[in-house]
Structure 1
Amino acid sequence: MDELDLLKKDWQSDDSRNETKLSVKEIYPMMHKKSSSIVKTLFYISIAELLFWLVLNLYPYFASDKYREELAVMYGNSTMLLALSILSSLVIVVFVFLLFKSYKSISVTDSAKKLMENILNTRKIIKYYVIYSLVMAFVSVIIGIYYTLYHNPEVSKQFAEFSDKQMFVATTLMVLFTLVFILVFWLFYRIIYGILLKRLNRNYNELKKLEV
Protein backbone atom coordinates (compact mmCIF):
# COMPACT_ATOMS: atom_id res chain seq x y z
CA MET A 1 0.00 0.00 0.00
CA ASP A 2 1.55 3.30 -1.11
CA GLU A 3 1.46 6.68 0.61
CA LEU A 4 -1.60 7.89 -1.28
CA ASP A 5 -3.57 4.76 -0.34
CA LEU A 6 -2.66 5.33 3.29
CA LEU A 7 -3.86 8.92 3.02
CA LYS A 8 -7.20 7.79 1.63
CA LYS A 9 -7.55 5.23 4.42
CA ASP A 10 -6.78 7.84 7.04
CA TRP A 11 -9.37 10.13 5.47
CA GLN A 12 -12.07 7.82 6.76
CA SER A 13 -10.95 8.40 10.32
CA ASP A 14 -12.38 11.48 12.08
CA ASP A 15 -9.35 11.66 14.35
CA SER A 16 -6.94 11.99 11.47
CA ARG A 17 -9.17 13.98 9.09
CA ASN A 18 -7.47 17.30 9.71
CA GLU A 19 -4.04 15.73 9.48
CA THR A 20 -4.96 14.09 6.17
CA LYS A 21 -6.27 17.36 4.79
CA LEU A 22 -2.94 18.88 5.66
CA SER A 23 -1.15 16.02 3.93
CA VAL A 24 -3.24 16.51 0.81
CA LYS A 25 -2.48 20.22 0.87
CA GLU A 26 1.20 19.35 1.11
CA ILE A 27 1.07 16.80 -1.70
CA TYR A 28 -0.92 18.90 -4.18
CA PRO A 29 1.77 21.61 -4.66
CA MET A 30 4.30 18.89 -5.46
CA MET A 31 1.95 17.32 -8.02
CA HIS A 32 1.21 20.74 -9.46
CA LYS A 33 4.89 21.63 -9.80
CA LYS A 34 5.71 18.27 -11.35
CA SER A 35 2.86 18.49 -13.90
CA SER A 36 3.79 22.06 -14.80
CA SER A 37 7.42 21.05 -15.30
CA ILE A 38 6.46 18.13 -17.57
CA VAL A 39 4.21 20.27 -19.78
CA LYS A 40 6.92 22.93 -19.92
CA THR A 41 9.38 20.30 -21.15
CA LEU A 42 6.85 19.14 -23.75
CA PHE A 43 6.51 22.73 -24.90
CA TYR A 44 10.29 23.13 -25.31
CA ILE A 45 10.47 19.86 -27.25
CA SER A 46 7.70 21.07 -29.55
CA ILE A 47 9.65 24.30 -30.15
CA ALA A 48 12.73 22.26 -31.11
CA GLU A 49 10.61 20.12 -33.43
CA LEU A 50 9.11 23.23 -35.02
CA LEU A 51 12.57 24.63 -35.74
CA PHE A 52 13.72 21.27 -37.13
CA TRP A 53 10.81 20.99 -39.57
CA LEU A 54 11.07 24.65 -40.58
CA VAL A 55 14.73 24.15 -41.49
CA LEU A 56 13.87 20.93 -43.33
CA ASN A 57 10.99 22.57 -45.23
CA LEU A 58 12.99 25.68 -46.12
CA TYR A 59 16.12 23.79 -47.17
CA PRO A 60 14.89 23.01 -50.73
CA TYR A 61 14.52 26.74 -51.43
CA PHE A 62 18.19 27.32 -50.60
CA ALA A 63 19.48 24.11 -52.17
CA SER A 64 20.61 23.56 -55.74
CA ASP A 65 18.22 23.84 -58.68
CA LYS A 66 18.71 20.15 -59.41
CA TYR A 67 17.62 19.16 -55.89
CA ARG A 68 14.50 21.33 -56.15
CA GLU A 69 13.66 19.81 -59.52
CA GLU A 70 13.99 16.28 -58.10
CA LEU A 71 11.67 17.16 -55.21
CA ALA A 72 9.21 18.79 -57.61
CA VAL A 73 9.16 15.59 -59.68
CA MET A 74 8.73 13.45 -56.57
CA TYR A 75 5.72 15.47 -55.38
CA GLY A 76 4.23 16.20 -58.78
CA ASN A 77 5.19 19.86 -58.87
CA SER A 78 6.64 22.62 -56.72
CA THR A 79 3.14 23.76 -55.70
CA MET A 80 2.40 20.41 -54.05
CA LEU A 81 5.72 20.54 -52.21
CA LEU A 82 5.07 24.12 -51.04
CA ALA A 83 1.52 23.25 -49.91
CA LEU A 84 2.72 20.28 -47.83
CA SER A 85 5.50 22.38 -46.28
CA ILE A 86 3.12 25.21 -45.34
CA LEU A 87 0.50 22.82 -43.94
CA SER A 88 3.08 20.96 -41.86
CA SER A 89 4.52 24.19 -40.45
CA LEU A 90 1.10 25.65 -39.62
CA VAL A 91 -0.01 22.54 -37.78
CA ILE A 92 3.17 22.51 -35.68
CA VAL A 93 2.72 26.22 -34.89
CA VAL A 94 -0.84 25.52 -33.70
CA PHE A 95 0.43 22.56 -31.67
CA VAL A 96 3.11 24.72 -30.02
CA PHE A 97 0.52 27.38 -29.22
CA LEU A 98 -1.88 24.86 -27.66
CA LEU A 99 0.90 23.35 -25.56
CA PHE A 100 1.98 26.79 -24.39
CA LYS A 101 -1.63 27.60 -23.50
CA SER A 102 -1.87 24.33 -21.59
CA TYR A 103 1.35 25.07 -19.72
CA LYS A 104 0.10 28.54 -18.71
CA SER A 105 -3.21 27.06 -17.54
CA ILE A 106 -1.48 24.49 -15.37
CA SER A 107 0.91 27.11 -13.98
CA VAL A 108 -1.87 29.32 -12.61
CA THR A 109 -4.46 26.77 -11.51
CA ASP A 110 -4.99 26.27 -7.77
CA SER A 111 -7.57 23.50 -7.97
CA ALA A 112 -6.81 19.78 -8.14
CA LYS A 113 -9.87 19.24 -10.32
CA LYS A 114 -8.81 21.98 -12.72
CA LEU A 115 -5.29 20.59 -12.83
CA MET A 116 -6.69 17.18 -13.75
CA GLU A 117 -8.72 18.76 -16.56
CA ASN A 118 -5.63 20.53 -17.88
CA ILE A 119 -3.64 17.28 -17.79
CA LEU A 120 -6.39 15.54 -19.77
CA ASN A 121 -6.40 18.40 -22.26
CA THR A 122 -2.62 18.16 -22.68
CA ARG A 123 -2.88 14.43 -23.28
CA LYS A 124 -5.48 15.02 -26.00
CA ILE A 125 -3.32 17.66 -27.69
CA ILE A 126 -0.33 15.29 -27.82
CA LYS A 127 -2.48 12.37 -28.96
CA TYR A 128 -4.05 14.27 -31.86
CA TYR A 129 -0.74 15.74 -32.92
CA VAL A 130 0.98 12.34 -32.99
CA ILE A 131 -1.91 10.88 -35.02
CA TYR A 132 -1.71 13.80 -37.45
CA SER A 133 2.07 13.42 -37.80
CA LEU A 134 1.82 9.70 -38.53
CA VAL A 135 -0.96 10.23 -41.08
CA MET A 136 0.97 13.05 -42.78
CA ALA A 137 4.13 10.92 -42.87
CA PHE A 138 2.18 8.10 -44.52
CA VAL A 139 0.47 10.43 -47.02
CA SER A 140 3.77 12.14 -47.90
CA VAL A 141 5.47 8.80 -48.61
CA ILE A 142 2.53 7.60 -50.73
CA ILE A 143 2.43 10.87 -52.72
CA GLY A 144 6.19 10.75 -53.19
CA ILE A 145 6.12 7.13 -54.44
CA TYR A 146 3.11 7.79 -56.72
CA TYR A 147 4.61 10.81 -58.45
CA THR A 148 8.02 9.18 -58.71
CA LEU A 149 6.51 6.15 -60.45
CA TYR A 150 4.13 7.97 -62.77
CA HIS A 151 5.74 11.36 -63.36
CA ASN A 152 9.43 10.54 -63.45
CA PRO A 153 10.16 9.39 -67.03
CA GLU A 154 13.26 7.37 -66.12
CA VAL A 155 11.55 5.49 -63.26
CA SER A 156 8.34 4.96 -65.28
CA LYS A 157 10.33 3.52 -68.18
CA GLN A 158 12.27 1.22 -65.88
CA PHE A 159 9.11 -0.07 -64.19
CA ALA A 160 7.47 -0.64 -67.56
CA GLU A 161 10.29 -3.05 -68.44
CA PHE A 162 10.00 -5.03 -65.20
CA SER A 163 8.88 -8.64 -65.24
CA ASP A 164 6.07 -9.77 -62.92
CA LYS A 165 8.63 -11.05 -60.44
CA GLN A 166 10.61 -7.81 -60.49
CA MET A 167 7.41 -5.80 -60.09
CA PHE A 168 6.43 -7.93 -57.08
CA VAL A 169 9.85 -7.43 -55.46
CA ALA A 170 9.78 -3.67 -56.14
CA THR A 171 6.26 -3.34 -54.76
CA THR A 172 7.18 -5.35 -51.67
CA LEU A 173 10.23 -3.16 -51.07
CA MET A 174 8.14 0.02 -51.38
CA VAL A 175 5.58 -1.33 -48.91
CA LEU A 176 8.34 -2.31 -46.48
CA PHE A 177 9.99 1.08 -46.88
CA THR A 178 6.70 2.82 -46.09
CA LEU A 179 6.09 0.64 -43.03
CA VAL A 180 9.63 1.15 -41.72
CA PHE A 181 9.36 4.90 -42.29
CA ILE A 182 6.09 5.08 -40.33
CA LEU A 183 7.53 2.82 -37.61
CA VAL A 184 10.55 5.12 -37.18
CA PHE A 185 8.18 8.09 -36.91
CA TRP A 186 6.06 6.25 -34.35
CA LEU A 187 9.12 5.27 -32.30
CA PHE A 188 10.34 8.88 -32.38
CA TYR A 189 7.09 10.20 -30.92
CA ARG A 190 6.81 7.22 -28.59
CA ILE A 191 10.21 7.98 -27.08
CA ILE A 192 10.10 11.77 -27.13
CA TYR A 193 6.51 12.32 -26.02
CA GLY A 194 5.62 8.89 -24.61
CA ILE A 195 7.96 9.04 -21.62
CA LEU A 196 6.73 12.47 -20.54
CA LEU A 197 3.10 11.56 -21.14
CA LYS A 198 3.55 8.48 -18.97
CA ARG A 199 4.73 10.71 -16.13
CA LEU A 200 1.86 13.09 -16.73
CA ASN A 201 -0.58 10.17 -16.61
CA ARG A 202 0.95 9.07 -13.32
CA ASN A 203 0.37 12.53 -11.88
CA TYR A 204 -3.21 12.46 -13.12
CA ASN A 205 -3.87 9.09 -11.46
CA GLU A 206 -2.36 10.27 -8.17
CA LEU A 207 -4.49 13.44 -8.26
CA LYS A 208 -7.51 11.25 -8.92
CA LYS A 209 -6.75 9.29 -5.76
CA LEU A 210 -6.50 12.50 -3.76
CA GLU A 211 -9.93 13.53 -5.03
CA VAL A 212 -11.55 10.31 -3.81
Structure 2
Amino acid sequence: MTLTQPTTLTPIEARVLGTLMEKARTVPDSYPLSLNSLLLGCNQKSSRDPVMDLSEADVASALENLMALSLMRTNTSGRVARYEHNFQRGIGVPEQSAVLLGLLMLRGPQTAAELRLNTERWYKFADISSVEGFLEELQDRSLDKGGPLVIKLARAPGAREQRWAHLLCGPVDEAQLAQSGSARGTDGAPGALARIEQLEAEVAQLRATVQLLCTELGVSATAP
Protein backbone atom coordinates (compact mmCIF):
# COMPACT_ATOMS: atom_id res chain seq x y z
CA MET A 1 0.00 0.00 0.00
CA THR A 2 1.31 3.42 -0.98
CA LEU A 3 -0.19 6.54 0.54
CA THR A 4 -1.56 8.99 -2.03
CA GLN A 5 -3.09 11.42 0.46
CA PRO A 6 -1.07 13.85 2.60
CA THR A 7 0.21 12.10 5.70
CA THR A 8 0.36 14.16 8.88
CA LEU A 9 2.33 12.60 11.70
CA THR A 10 2.68 13.77 15.27
CA PRO A 11 6.21 14.67 16.41
CA ILE A 12 6.28 11.45 18.46
CA GLU A 13 5.24 9.33 15.48
CA ALA A 14 7.93 11.01 13.37
CA ARG A 15 10.52 10.27 16.06
CA VAL A 16 9.49 6.61 16.30
CA LEU A 17 9.49 6.22 12.52
CA GLY A 18 12.83 8.01 12.10
CA THR A 19 14.41 5.87 14.81
CA LEU A 20 13.27 2.65 13.14
CA MET A 21 14.70 3.90 9.84
CA GLU A 22 18.00 4.83 11.47
CA LYS A 23 18.52 1.58 13.36
CA ALA A 24 17.65 -0.52 10.30
CA ARG A 25 20.75 0.93 8.63
CA THR A 26 23.14 1.56 11.51
CA VAL A 27 22.57 -1.55 13.69
CA PRO A 28 21.10 -4.16 11.29
CA ASP A 29 22.15 -7.07 13.54
CA SER A 30 19.69 -5.98 16.25
CA TYR A 31 16.92 -4.95 13.86
CA PRO A 32 13.85 -5.20 13.94
CA LEU A 33 13.71 -3.46 17.32
CA SER A 34 12.02 -4.51 20.53
CA LEU A 35 9.84 -1.91 22.24
CA ASN A 36 12.54 -1.26 24.84
CA SER A 37 15.28 -0.79 22.23
CA LEU A 38 13.03 1.51 20.23
CA LEU A 39 12.27 3.59 23.32
CA LEU A 40 15.98 3.98 24.06
CA GLY A 41 16.62 5.03 20.46
CA CYS A 42 13.84 7.61 20.53
CA ASN A 43 15.14 9.14 23.77
CA GLN A 44 18.87 9.11 23.00
CA LYS A 45 20.63 12.43 23.55
CA SER A 46 22.87 12.39 20.47
CA SER A 47 21.74 12.91 16.86
CA ARG A 48 18.30 14.09 17.95
CA ASP A 49 16.65 17.50 17.58
CA PRO A 50 14.74 18.03 19.71
CA VAL A 51 15.79 15.62 22.48
CA MET A 52 12.68 13.84 23.79
CA ASP A 53 11.74 11.99 26.97
CA LEU A 54 9.06 9.58 25.77
CA SER A 55 7.35 6.91 27.82
CA GLU A 56 6.71 3.34 26.75
CA ALA A 57 3.02 4.25 26.37
CA ASP A 58 3.92 7.14 24.05
CA VAL A 59 5.90 4.84 21.76
CA ALA A 60 3.28 2.07 21.84
CA SER A 61 0.54 4.52 20.85
CA ALA A 62 2.68 5.90 18.02
CA LEU A 63 3.35 2.37 16.75
CA GLU A 64 -0.39 1.66 16.59
CA ASN A 65 -1.01 4.75 14.49
CA LEU A 66 1.96 4.07 12.20
CA MET A 67 0.74 0.53 11.65
CA ALA A 68 -2.69 1.87 10.66
CA LEU A 69 -0.92 4.05 8.08
CA SER A 70 1.04 1.03 6.79
CA LEU A 71 4.31 2.78 7.72
CA MET A 72 5.53 0.02 10.04
CA ARG A 73 5.12 -3.71 10.63
CA THR A 74 5.27 -6.01 13.64
CA ASN A 75 7.43 -9.13 13.71
CA THR A 76 6.00 -11.61 16.23
CA SER A 77 8.03 -14.67 15.28
CA GLY A 78 10.12 -14.51 18.48
CA ARG A 79 9.27 -14.35 22.18
CA VAL A 80 9.31 -10.55 22.09
CA ALA A 81 7.44 -8.47 19.52
CA ARG A 82 9.74 -6.49 17.26
CA TYR A 83 9.04 -3.56 15.01
CA GLU A 84 10.26 -2.52 11.58
CA HIS A 85 9.43 0.42 9.34
CA ASN A 86 7.73 0.31 5.96
CA PHE A 87 8.44 3.94 5.15
CA GLN A 88 9.83 3.81 1.65
CA ARG A 89 7.03 1.66 0.28
CA GLY A 90 4.34 3.28 2.43
CA ILE A 91 5.16 6.82 1.35
CA GLY A 92 6.20 5.84 -2.17
CA VAL A 93 9.64 7.42 -2.48
CA PRO A 94 13.04 6.10 -3.65
CA GLU A 95 15.65 5.00 -1.15
CA GLN A 96 17.64 8.25 -1.32
CA SER A 97 14.56 10.35 -0.59
CA ALA A 98 13.58 8.08 2.32
CA VAL A 99 17.05 8.51 3.82
CA LEU A 100 16.82 12.30 3.64
CA LEU A 101 13.35 12.35 5.17
CA GLY A 102 14.47 10.04 7.97
CA LEU A 103 17.35 12.35 8.87
CA LEU A 104 15.10 15.41 8.78
CA MET A 105 12.64 13.69 11.14
CA LEU A 106 15.41 12.85 13.60
CA ARG A 107 17.61 15.95 13.47
CA GLY A 108 15.33 18.75 12.36
CA PRO A 109 16.01 21.24 9.54
CA GLN A 110 19.43 20.90 7.88
CA THR A 111 21.31 22.23 4.88
CA ALA A 112 22.06 19.96 1.93
CA ALA A 113 25.70 19.86 3.06
CA GLU A 114 24.71 18.80 6.58
CA LEU A 115 22.39 16.14 5.21
CA ARG A 116 25.11 14.69 3.01
CA LEU A 117 27.43 14.47 6.02
CA ASN A 118 24.81 13.09 8.40
CA THR A 119 23.60 10.41 5.97
CA GLU A 120 27.06 8.82 5.61
CA ARG A 121 26.07 5.75 7.67
CA TRP A 122 22.71 5.49 5.92
CA TYR A 123 23.55 6.14 2.28
CA LYS A 124 26.59 7.63 0.55
CA PHE A 125 25.54 10.44 -1.77
CA ALA A 126 28.04 11.25 -4.50
CA ASP A 127 27.96 14.99 -3.83
CA ILE A 128 25.83 17.82 -2.46
CA SER A 129 24.22 18.33 -5.87
CA SER A 130 22.72 14.84 -5.74
CA VAL A 131 21.29 15.57 -2.28
CA GLU A 132 19.77 18.80 -3.58
CA GLY A 133 18.31 16.96 -6.56
CA PHE A 134 16.36 14.51 -4.40
CA LEU A 135 15.26 17.32 -2.06
CA GLU A 136 13.93 19.30 -5.00
CA GLU A 137 12.03 16.23 -6.20
CA LEU A 138 10.45 15.90 -2.77
CA GLN A 139 9.58 19.61 -2.80
CA ASP A 140 7.99 19.38 -6.27
CA ARG A 141 6.09 16.14 -5.53
CA SER A 142 2.74 16.19 -7.31
CA LEU A 143 -0.56 16.33 -5.46
CA ASP A 144 -1.68 12.99 -6.88
CA LYS A 145 1.25 11.43 -5.04
CA GLY A 146 0.45 13.21 -1.77
CA GLY A 147 2.04 16.59 -2.39
CA PRO A 148 5.39 18.07 -1.27
CA LEU A 149 7.24 16.32 1.57
CA VAL A 150 9.93 18.95 2.20
CA ILE A 151 10.26 22.71 2.08
CA LYS A 152 13.31 24.90 1.51
CA LEU A 153 13.37 27.49 4.27
CA ALA A 154 14.30 31.12 3.87
CA ARG A 155 17.94 31.84 4.63
CA ALA A 156 18.39 32.55 8.33
CA PRO A 157 20.25 35.73 9.37
CA GLY A 158 24.00 35.08 9.31
CA ALA A 159 23.61 31.67 7.64
CA ARG A 160 25.50 30.81 4.47
CA GLU A 161 23.06 28.18 3.22
CA GLN A 162 19.33 27.58 3.32
CA ARG A 163 18.01 24.69 5.34
CA TRP A 164 15.42 22.08 4.41
CA ALA A 165 12.59 20.83 6.65
CA HIS A 166 10.19 17.90 6.25
CA LEU A 167 6.42 18.36 5.99
CA LEU A 168 5.38 14.98 7.39
CA CYS A 169 4.12 16.69 10.56
CA GLY A 170 2.28 19.36 8.58
CA PRO A 171 3.24 22.94 7.64
CA VAL A 172 6.27 24.37 9.42
CA ASP A 173 6.53 27.71 11.20
CA GLU A 174 9.26 29.31 9.09
CA ALA A 175 9.60 32.32 11.38
CA GLN A 176 10.32 30.12 14.38
CA LEU A 177 12.68 27.89 12.42
CA ALA A 178 14.53 30.91 11.02
CA GLN A 179 15.00 32.20 14.55
CA SER A 180 16.37 28.85 15.73
CA GLY A 181 18.56 28.73 12.62
CA SER A 182 20.21 32.03 13.50
CA ALA A 183 21.25 30.56 16.84
CA ARG A 184 22.96 27.69 15.04
CA GLY A 185 25.61 29.98 13.66
CA THR A 186 27.05 30.32 10.19
CA ASP A 187 28.56 26.85 10.16
CA GLY A 188 25.31 25.10 11.06
CA ALA A 189 26.46 24.02 14.53
CA PRO A 190 24.00 24.71 17.37
CA GLY A 191 25.06 27.76 19.38
CA ALA A 192 28.20 28.23 17.30
CA LEU A 193 28.12 32.03 17.37
CA ALA A 194 27.61 32.12 21.12
CA ARG A 195 30.46 29.65 21.58
CA ILE A 196 32.78 31.67 19.35
CA GLU A 197 31.99 34.87 21.24
CA GLN A 198 32.69 33.11 24.54
CA LEU A 199 36.03 31.80 23.29
CA GLU A 200 37.01 35.22 21.96
CA ALA A 201 36.22 36.76 25.35
CA GLU A 202 38.31 34.09 27.11
CA VAL A 203 41.26 34.67 24.75
CA ALA A 204 41.07 38.42 25.34
CA GLN A 205 41.06 37.84 29.10
CA LEU A 206 44.06 35.49 28.87
CA ARG A 207 45.97 38.01 26.80
CA ALA A 208 45.31 40.72 29.38
CA THR A 209 46.49 38.38 32.15
CA VAL A 210 49.67 37.48 30.25
CA GLN A 211 50.37 41.15 29.57
CA LEU A 212 49.95 41.98 33.26
CA LEU A 213 52.29 39.17 34.33
CA CYS A 214 54.90 40.20 31.77
CA THR A 215 54.74 43.80 32.99
CA GLU A 216 55.25 42.71 36.60
CA LEU A 217 58.16 40.45 35.60
CA GLY A 218 59.71 43.10 33.38
CA VAL A 219 59.71 40.94 30.27
CA SER A 220 58.28 41.50 26.82
CA ALA A 221 54.97 39.82 26.05
CA THR A 222 56.18 39.17 22.50
CA ALA A 223 59.42 37.47 23.54
CA PRO A 224 59.77 33.83 22.31
TM-score, scaled to structure 2: 0.24
TM-score, scaled to structure 1: 0.25
Task: Tell me which protein shows more helix as a share of its residues.
Answer: 1
Q: Which has the higher contact order (CA 8 A, sep 6+)?
A: 1
